[in-house]
Amino acid sequence: MQPSTLEFNRFVLDFNSRTCIMGILNATPDSFSDGGKFNSCETAVAQGIKLVEDGAHILDIGGESSRPFAEPVSEQQEMDRVIPVIENLAAKIDVPISIDTVKSAVAREALNAGATIINDISAFEKDPAMADLAAETKVPVVLMHMKGTPETMQVNPNYDDLMMEIITYLEKRAAFAMDKGIKKSHIILDPGIGFGKTVKHNLVLIKHLEKIRALGFLVLIGPSRKSFIQNVLSKDSSIPVGPDNIKTLYGTMAAVAASVMNGAHIVRVHDVEKVKSFTRIIDSIRNA
């Protein structure tokens, strides 16, 4: 049975008639698209407020880049980047804040500061204590598939059966989470677009996203400004298409449309205002 709502803390997210938009706020100097733009508390808070005003239903805040070949940062450095931002925003906005981290110590401080969702790109593998924390605090979790680590994931990623391997992995990690005491209704699965996948892998994942939805969990996808979009569009361009090119925005919209039509409940994006109008039409068509 497909989930239709996500209830937690004082929030209720309804997926019956609309796609949920997760706005990306990178409080980092080195993220692949907007790194360095919001790495002071003041600029990050201002951007977070703007994303909510633009229509974000969730705000996802991260302090460690997970772009290909990114190097990890210390717990303290990550906390210094995100905790003041979360504290400030939690007092100013009325949408749930998600902490994007693989470290349970960072997640705990973020939850204490006002976050109410854990987004773990390692699906609890990097730090198994994260599952215990999520069970203890009863917050929703995002579990993502990644082949390798950010430092290694884009070095010749290879699969014998792409969809089967990703589905099997996500099933196992969801089972691990439920064994730890996390409710099935609080588990969100993310196939990990761009995390240990070639251009073709990413396209196939979006095309067959309904196979992940069929597992019976909420599904999140994050195609926004990803390199597979840039690579596809660069083939028809005399110059490379970068993450901030208008063509990449159009490509992101196309990927969002296909993802929603193929089963995504939540889309994680940078350009919230544009995506909100876009998904409003897609949802209207889907629900007609």
Catalytic residue (one of 180, 268, 276, 286): 268
Q: Are 8 and 138 in contact (CB under 8 A)?
A: yes
Catalytic residue (one of 18, 197, 226, 276): 226
**How far is residue 56's CA from residue 188's CA, in Å, rounded to a whole number?**
17
Does the annotation mark 108 as catalytic?
A: no
Measured CA to CA in angstroms, residue 276 lies from 34, 63, 71, 203 at distances of 20, 25, 33, 22
CB-based burial, 230-240: b 16+ in 10 Å, e otherwise = bebbbeeeeee
Does the annotation mark 200 as catalytic?
A: no
Q: List helix spans (H) across the chain.
A: 41-54, 75-90, 104-113, 129-137, 162-179, 199-207, 210-213, 227-234, 246-261, 272-286
Partner residues linked to 59 by β-bridges: 23, 97
User: φ, ψ for residue 204 (rounded to 5)?
Assistant: -65, -40
Active site residues: 226, 268
